[in-house]
């Protein structure tokens, strides 16, 4: 794509985007523009093949049927898999972390093959994980606690090639009692944090932007309203 514009792919917002997860694309675009970087969002719907040439991709959560449609589409048009293989950053929220794994089982016990971008599998838990989620990140470049709202029946188990994104301080994360949240593998990050996650976690937004732009440094942004939102959401999880 054009060198002067950052292209953010919002993948399947028509079927995956519960709790305003599409806001993650808006935040990436806005935080780029505030640094004087041109940025544009490309919405990829069920009517479109998935392009492999965008700079960064975000996917949101979904209920079981919509999640199934998304899985089929991403399998049929493997642009996301090619983009990830080329090192483009991908952020996958909730149902999307499940779709990007090897397989997931729906709450009715049906097993669906995923697209295997993340070494993980998901099976229904005895009870739904719902509520505020707070974690301490475990990857280099992130130091601030991460916060989100989780609501999932599926419980996710990581394989050896996926590392957790964070250690759970409050809430359930991947699976109740497991103490781990999210998955990181190559340029792909999966998490159960709705919120939208990047509104609550600007450090994570800038981490992804740096990867997408191929830079180690971004000009700091002074946004008191974002700091206030963070304080409120972190306090809500205590
Ligand atoms: N349907 C999935 C589950 O319940 C994901 C839900 C979501 O994305 N909020 O596990």
DSSP 62-100: --HHHHHHHHHHHHHSTHHHHHHHTT--EEEETHHHHHT
pLDDT at 208 over 90: yes
Q: In DSSP terms, which residues pair with 112 in a beta bridge? A: 104
**Is 67's C-beta closer than 6 angstroms to any atom of ligand 1?**
yes
At residue 1, the pLDDT reads 47
Cis omega (within 30 of 0) for bond into 196: yes
pLDDT of 63 > 80? The answer is yes
194 is an active site residue: yes
Burial of 151 (0-12, 13-18, 19+ CB in 10 A): middle
- Confidence band for 2, pLDDT divided at 50, 70 and 90: very low
User: What ipTM does the predicted assembly reach?
Assistant: 0.93
Q: Is the pTM of this model over 0.80?
A: yes
Interval between CA 96 and ligand 1 midpoint (Å): 8
Say if CB 105 and CB 154 are below 8 A apart. yes
On average, the pLDDT of the chain sits at 96
Token code pair at residue 52: 């492999």
Stretch 62-80: mean pLDDT, rounded?
96
Could you tell me whether strands 56-59 and 111-113 are parallel, antiparallel, or unpaired per DSSP bridges? unpaired
CA 150 to ligand 1: nearest atom:
9
What sign for the dihedral angle of Cα 71, 73, 79, 80?
negative
154 pocket-lining for ligand 1 (C-beta < 6 Å): yes
151 CA: nearest ligand 1 atom? 9
Known catalytic residue at 73? no
Terminus-to-terminus CA distance in the chain, angstroms? 44
How confident is the model over 142-187, as pLDDT tens digits?
Answer: 999 999 999 999 999 999 999 999 999 999 999 999 999 999 999 9
Percent of the chain with pLDDT over 90: 95
Q: How far is the CA of 149 from the centre of ligand 1 (A)?
A: 12
Of 7, 94, 102, 152, catalytic: 94
């Amino acid at each position: 794509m054009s060198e002067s514009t950052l292209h953010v792919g919002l993948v399947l917002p028509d079927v995956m985007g519960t709790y305003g997860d599409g806001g993650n694309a808006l935040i990436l675009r806005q935080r780029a523009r505030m640094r004087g970087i041109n940025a544009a969002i490309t919405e990829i719907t069920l009517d479109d093949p998935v392009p492999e040439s965008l700079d960064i991709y975000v996917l949101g959560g979904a209920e079981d049927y919509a999640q199934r449609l998304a899985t089929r589409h991403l399998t049929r048009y493997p642009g996301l898999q090619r983009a990830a293989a080329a090192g483009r950053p991908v952020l996958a929220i909730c149902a999307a972390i499940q779709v990007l794994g090897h397989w997931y089982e729906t709450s009715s016990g049906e097993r669906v093959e995923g697209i295997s971008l993340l070494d993980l599998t998901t099976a229904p838990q005895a009870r739904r994980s719902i509520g505020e989620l707070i974690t301490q990140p475990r990857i280099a470049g992130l130091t601030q606690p991460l916060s989100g709202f989780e609501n999932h029946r599926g419980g996710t188990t990581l394989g050896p090639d996926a590392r957790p994104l964070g250690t759970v301080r409050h809430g359930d994360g991947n699976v109740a009692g497991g103490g781990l949240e999210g998955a990181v593998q190559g340029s792909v990050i999966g998490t159960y944090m709705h919120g939208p996650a990047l509104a609550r976690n600007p450090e994570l937004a800038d981490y992804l932007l740096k990867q997408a732009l191929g830079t180690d440094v971004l000009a700091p942004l002074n946004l008191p309203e974002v700091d206030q939102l963070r304080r409120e959401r972190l306090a809500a999880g205590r």
